[in-house]
Structure 1
Amino acid sequence: MRTAFMRVAATTAVAVLGLAGATSASAQPDPVSPVAPGVQAVADVGPPPAPDGAVASGPPGFVVTPDGWELTVSAKDEFQVAVAPLTTALSSREYLVAGTFEGAVAGAGTAPTSGGTLEVGYQIGCGISLNVVKLNGSAGFTPSINDQRRLGVAFPVSAQIEVFPQPGEVTTVQLTQKTFEGSNPRVTVKDVHIKVDGCVGESFLRSYAVLTSSTDAADDIVAYYGVTKAV
């Protein structure tokens, strides 16, 4: 009887040990594959950052002319960044810009086209314009006698600057006007400086492109305007 009891106890102890080992093994986390030094895991890699100064382009300009031509003007790869003005004046604004502007004349119009133009430039909006600065001055004559009974003369000079701020205005800077004879004109702008003077408020910048398609009897115009950027 005692021998049977010892066999049952030993069997129970083995079962308990096996259960504990299984529980301990299941509680451990799954092994992680080693990553080579200097290599980032694929799951942590996000999209590449946008270049400094990159600007999203606006929707293309599109129109169907009365004689059936389809005109489109658009932009891509735009870049705008404010830089220190060469004059170092606080009332000057200067920007470095880039972009590609494209036009397209498609469809089956009833009148043949003879080409046209693609105008590209930028519009600078200024919150407050500084148009007039006036300097007012005056001089006087003041005699005086010091402690040694000597006569002295003083010429006091005073000056006052008057500033006349004006309501904001928009300055249009045309970079080029491309004349073309085909159907797909293009203008590429790279690292071009544009500036405006007399601006003391917040300024805003946006690109524009105007496509003109010509026939013997008509001119058809469609415009593109970029996203406005506060700079």
Structure 2
Amino acid sequence: MLAPIAAAPLALADPPPPDPAVQPVGDPAVDPGPPPDTGVVASSEPGVVTTPDGWVLTVAAKDETELPVAPLTTAISSREYLVGGTFTGTVTGSGKTTLAGGVLEAGYQIGCGIELGQVRLIGSVGIGTSGSNITGGLIPTGINFPISGTLEIHLKPGSVTNVSVDKKTFKAAPARVTLKDVHIKLDGCAGQSFLRSYATLTSSTTDTDDVVAYYGVTKSV
């Protein structure tokens, strides 16, 4: 007797559930990545000095922003920043001399790790002919001008550039300079750049000048 035999279908095992401890890589819902740069930077401690006459000079900054932006020149050797902040200068104490005002200057220092120096194109141009062999010799049929060259780039050690944004002359302290969305730039920078704010307070009397400086936190770009 013959009995029909049916093959049982193979049962495929369901994949195991995902391990909750293992998170998918690159999922923005799980790993949004670093937050965008808003440009906000911390301010350093104020610069304070007591003059020999007994006056106390203080220069400080707050609400500072330093945001790197794409340069309008689109050159890869240009650096451009959008900056802002409030810089103040005060003169207090009971000095022995009569104050005659002064100057509050605010600006930025841009440091470039490597500067782009001289760029030269070194090349040569030759002349050659081509021809066909026929009975009796070679008859030229064309002339060509082969050109070869190399680009020579000279790099220089980095430097620091001071960019003065504003100078406020005052008759009596306190004095203030407020900057908002000011563009500053540096050209010819082939390496990493560094940026920090600065402010100087100059207090004057009839015969003297006393200067105190403030330097902000350095930001690398």
TM-score (norm 1): 0.76
Aligned twin of 1:121: 107
Is there any run of 5+ residues in structure 2 with no aligned partner, and where? 1-34
| Aligned pairs, number | 183
Query: Cα offset for 1:51?
Result: 7.9
TM-score (norm 2): 0.79
Which deviations, in whole Å up to 9, do the C-alpha atoms of 1:120-142 show, x marking residues without a partner? Answer: 10000011000211122221111
Which aligned pairs between 1:1-231 and structure 2 lie closer than 5 A?
Answer: 52-146=38-132, 150-231=140-221
- CA gap of 1:150–1:170, structure 2 versus 1, over 3 A, is same
Quote the Cα distance in structure 2 between the aligned partners of 1:76 and 1:51: 18
Could you list the structure 1 runs, at least 4 aligned residues long, displaced by more than 4 angstroms after superposition: 146-150
Higher strand fraction: Structure 1 or Structure 2? 2
- For residue 202 of structure 1, what is the amino acid of its counterpart? Q
Higher helix fraction: Structure 1 or Structure 2? 1
Quote the Cα distance in structure 2 between the aligned partners of 1:167 and 1:178: 34
Is there any run of 5+ residues in structure 1 with no aligned partner, and where? 1-48
Quote the Cα distance in structure 2 between the aligned partners of 1:172 and 1:219: 22
RMSD over aligned Cα atoms = 1.7
- For residue 148 of structure 2, what is the amino acid of its counterpart? S
User: What is the SS of the residue equivalent to 1:52?
Assistant: coil
The question of whether the paired residues in 1 share the 8 Å contact of 2:115 and 2:156 is answered with yes
- For residue 179 of structure 2, what is the amino acid of its counterpart? V
- CA gap of 1:70–1:160, structure 2 versus 1, over 3 A, is same
Query: Cα offset for 1:82?
Result: 0.4
Structure with bigger gyration radius: 1
Quote the Cα distance in structure 2 between the aligned partners of 1:80 and 1:156: 51
